[in-house]
Amino acid sequence: MKLFGDIEFFVVEAFRGVRRSGVMSLVAIGIVTVSLFIFGLFLLFMVNLGNMVAEMGTRLDIVAYVEKAVTPDEAAAITEKLSHITGVEKVRYVSREEAWRSFRDDFTQKLDLATIVGENPLPDSFAIKVRTPDILPKVAEAVAQYPEVDEVRYSGKLIKQIQTLIDALRLGGMVLVVLLFFATLLIVVNTIRLTVLARETDIYIMKLVGATRSFIRWPFVIEGVLIGVLGGLFGILILKPSYDAVTNRLQVGLPFLPLMTDKFTLNVIYLVVGISGMLLGMLGGYISVSRLLKEK
Protein backbone atom coordinates (compact mmCIF):
# COMPACT_ATOMS: atom_id res chain seq x y z
CA MET A 1 0.00 0.00 0.00
CA LYS A 2 1.09 3.56 -0.59
CA LEU A 3 1.59 4.02 3.12
CA PHE A 4 3.02 7.51 3.06
CA GLY A 5 0.37 8.80 0.75
CA ASP A 6 -2.21 7.32 3.07
CA ILE A 7 -0.70 8.85 6.18
CA GLU A 8 -0.56 12.22 4.51
CA PHE A 9 -4.18 11.84 3.47
CA PHE A 10 -5.23 10.88 7.00
CA VAL A 11 -3.46 13.86 8.53
CA VAL A 12 -4.97 16.24 6.00
CA GLU A 13 -8.37 14.68 6.66
CA ALA A 14 -7.90 15.07 10.41
CA PHE A 15 -7.10 18.77 10.12
CA ARG A 16 -10.06 19.21 7.82
CA GLY A 17 -12.24 17.41 10.35
CA VAL A 18 -11.19 19.68 13.19
CA ARG A 19 -11.61 22.81 11.10
CA ARG A 20 -14.95 21.92 9.55
CA SER A 21 -16.47 20.85 12.86
CA GLY A 22 -15.84 24.40 14.04
CA VAL A 23 -17.53 25.16 17.35
CA MET A 24 -17.64 21.49 18.22
CA SER A 25 -13.87 21.13 17.94
CA LEU A 26 -13.34 24.31 19.91
CA VAL A 27 -15.63 23.15 22.68
CA ALA A 28 -13.90 19.78 22.78
CA ILE A 29 -10.47 21.40 22.93
CA GLY A 30 -11.78 23.62 25.73
CA ILE A 31 -12.96 20.64 27.77
CA VAL A 32 -9.68 18.82 27.25
CA THR A 33 -7.75 21.97 28.22
CA VAL A 34 -9.68 22.33 31.46
CA SER A 35 -9.39 18.66 32.37
CA LEU A 36 -5.68 18.53 31.74
CA PHE A 37 -5.20 21.81 33.58
CA ILE A 38 -6.90 20.31 36.62
CA PHE A 39 -4.89 17.13 36.25
CA GLY A 40 -1.66 19.11 36.04
CA LEU A 41 -2.62 21.30 38.97
CA PHE A 42 -3.27 18.21 40.99
CA LEU A 43 0.03 16.63 40.01
CA LEU A 44 1.83 19.81 41.07
CA PHE A 45 -0.10 19.91 44.33
CA MET A 46 0.76 16.31 45.07
CA VAL A 47 4.43 16.80 44.28
CA ASN A 48 4.48 19.80 46.60
CA LEU A 49 2.71 18.00 49.39
CA GLY A 50 5.19 15.14 49.10
CA ASN A 51 7.99 17.67 49.09
CA MET A 52 6.71 19.35 52.20
CA VAL A 53 6.31 16.17 54.17
CA ALA A 54 9.71 14.95 53.10
CA GLU A 55 11.21 18.28 54.04
CA MET A 56 9.46 18.08 57.38
CA GLY A 57 11.18 14.79 57.91
CA THR A 58 14.64 16.08 57.09
CA ARG A 59 14.22 18.90 59.57
CA LEU A 60 14.63 16.31 62.28
CA ASP A 61 18.16 16.17 63.56
CA ILE A 62 20.20 13.29 64.77
CA VAL A 63 22.21 14.53 67.72
CA ALA A 64 25.57 12.93 68.30
CA TYR A 65 27.08 13.65 71.72
CA VAL A 66 30.82 13.41 72.30
CA GLU A 67 32.26 12.32 75.64
CA LYS A 68 34.69 15.18 76.31
CA ALA A 69 34.82 18.75 75.16
CA VAL A 70 36.41 19.14 71.74
CA THR A 71 38.69 21.86 70.38
CA PRO A 72 37.50 23.85 67.33
CA ASP A 73 39.98 21.90 65.17
CA GLU A 74 38.69 18.59 66.44
CA ALA A 75 35.13 19.77 65.89
CA ALA A 76 35.90 20.64 62.27
CA ALA A 77 37.50 17.26 61.73
CA ILE A 78 34.57 15.37 63.19
CA THR A 79 32.11 17.49 61.19
CA GLU A 80 34.06 16.62 58.05
CA LYS A 81 34.04 12.92 58.87
CA LEU A 82 30.38 12.73 59.68
CA SER A 83 29.52 14.60 56.50
CA HIS A 84 30.83 11.70 54.46
CA ILE A 85 28.26 9.23 55.74
CA THR A 86 25.85 8.38 52.93
CA GLY A 87 22.53 10.14 53.33
CA VAL A 88 23.87 12.93 55.49
CA GLU A 89 22.85 16.34 54.29
CA LYS A 90 24.47 18.67 56.80
CA VAL A 91 26.44 18.44 60.02
CA ARG A 92 26.58 21.31 62.48
CA TYR A 93 28.81 21.50 65.56
CA VAL A 94 26.90 22.59 68.66
CA SER A 95 29.19 23.58 71.54
CA ARG A 96 28.09 22.74 75.07
CA GLU A 97 27.76 26.49 75.75
CA GLU A 98 25.42 26.94 72.80
CA ALA A 99 23.40 23.91 73.84
CA TRP A 100 23.05 25.19 77.37
CA ARG A 101 21.94 28.63 76.16
CA SER A 102 19.27 27.21 73.92
CA PHE A 103 18.22 24.72 76.59
CA ARG A 104 17.74 27.51 79.09
CA ASP A 105 15.90 29.64 76.52
CA ASP A 106 13.59 26.79 75.74
CA PHE A 107 12.77 25.41 79.15
CA THR A 108 13.55 27.74 81.98
CA GLN A 109 11.16 30.56 81.55
CA LYS A 110 9.27 29.53 84.60
CA LEU A 111 11.37 26.98 86.43
CA ASP A 112 14.63 28.64 87.04
CA LEU A 113 16.68 25.58 86.20
CA ALA A 114 19.79 27.59 85.60
CA THR A 115 19.91 28.75 89.17
CA ILE A 116 19.00 25.31 90.44
CA VAL A 117 21.51 23.43 88.34
CA GLY A 118 24.17 26.09 88.64
CA GLU A 119 26.69 24.92 86.11
CA ASN A 120 26.30 23.63 82.54
CA PRO A 121 25.77 19.87 82.61
CA LEU A 122 25.63 19.44 78.82
CA PRO A 123 28.28 17.93 76.54
CA ASP A 124 29.35 19.14 73.09
CA SER A 125 27.30 17.69 70.25
CA PHE A 126 26.80 17.54 66.50
CA ALA A 127 23.43 18.15 64.87
CA ILE A 128 23.16 15.99 61.76
CA LYS A 129 20.57 16.51 59.03
CA VAL A 130 19.70 13.62 56.72
CA ARG A 131 18.31 13.65 53.21
CA THR A 132 15.21 11.53 53.82
CA PRO A 133 13.70 10.53 57.13
CA ASP A 134 13.59 6.82 56.32
CA ILE A 135 17.37 6.53 56.46
CA LEU A 136 17.58 8.18 59.89
CA PRO A 137 18.15 4.89 61.81
CA LYS A 138 20.84 3.76 59.37
CA VAL A 139 22.66 7.08 59.55
CA ALA A 140 22.34 7.12 63.34
CA GLU A 141 23.93 3.69 63.48
CA ALA A 142 26.74 4.78 61.17
CA VAL A 143 27.34 7.86 63.30
CA ALA A 144 27.47 5.72 66.43
CA GLN A 145 30.42 3.75 64.96
CA TYR A 146 32.73 6.73 65.28
CA PRO A 147 34.96 6.48 68.35
CA GLU A 148 34.60 10.20 69.07
CA VAL A 149 30.83 9.81 69.37
CA ASP A 150 29.63 8.90 72.80
CA GLU A 151 25.92 8.56 72.22
CA VAL A 152 23.43 9.20 69.39
CA ARG A 153 19.88 10.42 69.90
CA TYR A 154 16.92 10.93 67.59
CA SER A 155 13.22 10.85 68.17
CA GLY A 156 12.21 7.44 66.89
CA LYS A 157 8.53 7.81 67.74
CA LEU A 158 8.10 11.10 65.86
CA ILE A 159 9.96 9.66 62.93
CA LYS A 160 7.70 6.66 62.82
CA GLN A 161 4.67 8.91 62.80
CA ILE A 162 6.09 11.05 60.07
CA GLN A 163 7.12 7.98 58.12
CA THR A 164 3.56 6.63 58.38
CA LEU A 165 2.22 9.96 57.22
CA ILE A 166 4.64 10.05 54.31
CA ASP A 167 3.73 6.50 53.35
CA ALA A 168 0.04 7.31 53.60
CA LEU A 169 0.49 10.42 51.51
CA ARG A 170 2.59 8.55 48.98
CA LEU A 171 0.01 5.79 48.65
CA GLY A 172 -2.95 8.14 48.88
CA GLY A 173 -1.31 10.47 46.39
CA MET A 174 -0.61 7.63 44.02
CA VAL A 175 -4.19 6.40 44.30
CA LEU A 176 -5.50 9.92 43.80
CA VAL A 177 -3.23 10.57 40.83
CA VAL A 178 -4.35 7.32 39.24
CA LEU A 179 -7.97 8.17 40.04
CA LEU A 180 -7.66 11.65 38.60
CA PHE A 181 -5.86 10.28 35.62
CA PHE A 182 -8.76 7.95 34.96
CA ALA A 183 -11.20 10.79 35.50
CA THR A 184 -9.28 12.87 32.97
CA LEU A 185 -9.20 9.87 30.69
CA LEU A 186 -12.95 9.43 30.96
CA ILE A 187 -13.61 13.10 30.32
CA VAL A 188 -11.22 13.46 27.40
CA VAL A 189 -12.11 10.17 25.77
CA ASN A 190 -15.81 10.80 26.12
CA THR A 191 -15.58 14.38 24.94
CA ILE A 192 -13.95 13.18 21.77
CA ARG A 193 -16.57 10.49 21.53
CA LEU A 194 -19.23 13.20 21.55
CA THR A 195 -17.56 14.94 18.63
CA VAL A 196 -17.34 11.63 16.77
CA LEU A 197 -20.92 10.64 17.59
CA ALA A 198 -22.08 13.87 16.04
CA ARG A 199 -20.61 12.61 12.79
CA GLU A 200 -22.18 9.19 12.93
CA THR A 201 -23.92 9.87 9.64
CA ASP A 202 -20.65 10.83 7.99
CA ILE A 203 -19.10 7.54 9.03
CA TYR A 204 -22.12 5.66 7.81
CA ILE A 205 -21.96 7.37 4.42
CA MET A 206 -18.22 6.73 4.17
CA LYS A 207 -18.84 3.04 4.71
CA LEU A 208 -21.52 3.08 2.03
CA VAL A 209 -19.18 4.44 -0.59
CA GLY A 210 -16.62 1.73 0.05
CA ALA A 211 -14.26 3.07 2.70
CA THR A 212 -12.51 0.38 4.75
CA ARG A 213 -12.55 0.57 8.52
CA SER A 214 -8.98 1.73 8.84
CA PHE A 215 -9.53 4.33 6.15
CA ILE A 216 -12.33 5.82 8.22
CA ARG A 217 -10.65 5.26 11.55
CA TRP A 218 -7.27 6.92 11.17
CA PRO A 219 -8.41 10.45 10.40
CA PHE A 220 -10.61 10.32 13.50
CA VAL A 221 -7.77 8.97 15.63
CA ILE A 222 -5.46 11.71 14.37
CA GLU A 223 -8.21 14.23 14.98
CA GLY A 224 -8.38 12.97 18.56
CA VAL A 225 -4.64 13.40 18.85
CA LEU A 226 -4.93 16.93 17.50
CA ILE A 227 -7.64 17.88 19.96
CA GLY A 228 -5.70 16.19 22.77
CA VAL A 229 -2.44 17.87 21.89
CA LEU A 230 -4.04 21.28 21.52
CA GLY A 231 -5.93 20.80 24.78
CA GLY A 232 -2.71 19.69 26.48
CA LEU A 233 -0.83 22.64 25.08
CA PHE A 234 -3.41 25.17 26.20
CA GLY A 235 -3.60 23.38 29.54
CA ILE A 236 0.15 23.82 30.01
CA LEU A 237 -0.07 27.41 28.84
CA ILE A 238 -2.50 28.15 31.69
CA LEU A 239 -0.85 25.81 34.18
CA LYS A 240 2.65 27.21 34.05
CA PRO A 241 1.91 30.88 34.74
CA SER A 242 -0.72 29.91 37.34
CA TYR A 243 1.79 27.79 39.22
CA ASP A 244 4.51 30.38 38.96
CA ALA A 245 2.16 33.09 40.23
CA VAL A 246 0.93 30.98 43.14
CA THR A 247 4.38 29.86 44.25
CA ASN A 248 5.73 33.41 44.03
CA ARG A 249 2.91 34.62 46.21
CA LEU A 250 3.25 31.83 48.74
CA GLN A 251 7.02 32.20 48.92
CA VAL A 252 6.54 35.78 50.08
CA GLY A 253 3.77 35.11 52.59
CA LEU A 254 4.99 31.76 53.86
CA PRO A 255 8.74 31.64 53.38
CA PHE A 256 9.02 28.49 55.48
CA LEU A 257 6.88 26.44 53.03
CA PRO A 258 9.20 24.24 50.98
CA LEU A 259 7.67 24.74 47.52
CA MET A 260 8.74 22.73 44.52
CA THR A 261 10.44 25.04 42.06
CA ASP A 262 12.84 22.64 40.42
CA LYS A 263 12.74 23.48 36.70
CA PHE A 264 13.41 19.95 35.58
CA THR A 265 10.69 18.32 37.67
CA LEU A 266 8.25 21.02 36.62
CA ASN A 267 9.05 20.46 32.97
CA VAL A 268 8.57 16.73 33.42
CA ILE A 269 5.13 17.39 34.91
CA TYR A 270 4.21 19.72 32.06
CA LEU A 271 5.41 17.10 29.61
CA VAL A 272 3.31 14.46 31.34
CA VAL A 273 0.28 16.71 30.97
CA GLY A 274 0.97 17.29 27.29
CA ILE A 275 1.61 13.64 26.52
CA SER A 276 -1.48 12.61 28.47
CA GLY A 277 -3.48 14.92 26.23
CA MET A 278 -2.04 13.32 23.13
CA LEU A 279 -2.53 9.74 24.28
CA LEU A 280 -6.00 10.31 25.66
CA GLY A 281 -7.03 12.09 22.48
CA MET A 282 -5.75 9.20 20.43
CA LEU A 283 -7.51 6.69 22.66
CA GLY A 284 -10.69 8.74 22.50
CA GLY A 285 -10.64 8.88 18.73
CA TYR A 286 -9.82 5.20 18.44
CA ILE A 287 -12.44 3.94 20.87
CA SER A 288 -15.25 6.15 19.62
CA VAL A 289 -14.78 5.51 15.96
CA SER A 290 -14.33 1.78 16.55
CA ARG A 291 -17.65 1.66 18.34
CA LEU A 292 -19.36 3.27 15.40
CA LEU A 293 -17.55 1.09 12.90
CA LYS A 294 -18.54 -2.09 14.67
CA GLU A 295 -22.26 -1.61 14.19
CA LYS A 296 -23.30 -3.74 11.25
Partner 1 sequence: MIEIKNVSKSYPNGVEALFDVNIHIGKEEFVFIVGPSGAGKTTLMKMLYREELPNSGTVIVDRINVTELLPEQVPYLRRAIGVVFQDYKLLPRRTVYENVAFALQVTGAARSQIRRHTMQALELVNMLKRASSFPEELSGGEKQRVCIARAIVNNPTLLLADEPTGNLDPTTSWEIMELLDKINRRNTTVLVSTHNKSIVDSMKRRVVQLEGGRIMRDQQLGSYNQV
Residue 52, classified by CB atoms within 10 Å of its CB into exposed (0-12), middle (13-18) or buried (19+), is: middle
Angle at 146 between CA 140 and CA 150, to 5 degrees: 80
Residues 13-32 that bind partner 1 (CB under 8 A): 16-17, 20-21
Of partner 1, a second copy, none, which one sits near residue 256, judging by CB under 5 to 8 A according to partner kind? a second copy
Find the part of the chain contacting partner 1 (CB under 8 A) among 32-40, 154-162, 203-211, 268-276. Answer: 203-211
| H/E segment holding residue 150 | strand 149-153
Query: How many whole angstroms separate alpha carbon 254 and alpha carbon 48?
Result: 14
Tell which one of 6, 80, 97, 151 touches a second copy (CB under 8 A). 151
Partner from a second copy, partner 1, none binding residue 272, C-beta < 5-8 Å depending on class:
none
Contact with partner 1 (CB under 8 A) among 83, 161, 212, 248 = 212
- Selection from partner 1, a second copy, none that 254 binds (CB < 5 to 8 A by kind) is a second copy
Q: How many CB atoms lie within 10 A of CB 79?
A: 15
Query: What's the one-letter identity of residue 132?
Result: T
Task: Please work out, in degrees rounded to the nearest 5, the angle formed at the alpha carbon of residue 248 by the alpha carbons of 243 and 252.
Answer: 145
Pairing of strands 149-153, 61-66: antiparallel
Counting contacts by CB under 8 A, is residue 290 touching partner 1? no
Distance of CA 27 to the CA centre of its chain: 29
Give the Å distances, CA to CA, from 60 to 42, 56, 105, 256. Answer: 28, 7, 20, 15
Least separation, in Å, of the C-beta of 33 and partner 1? 23
Stretch that binds partner 1, among 3-11, 157-165, 263-271, 283-291 (CB under 8 A): 3-11
Contact set with a second copy (CB under 8 A): 23-24, 27-28, 30-31, 34-35, 37-38, 41, 65, 107, 109-113, 116-117, 121-123, 151, 153, 161, 164-165, 168, 172, 176, 179-180, 183, 186-187, 190-191, 193-195, 197-198, 246, 250, 253-254, 256-257
Contact set with partner 1 (CB under 8 A): 1-2, 5-6, 9, 16-17, 20-21, 199, 201-202, 205-213, 215
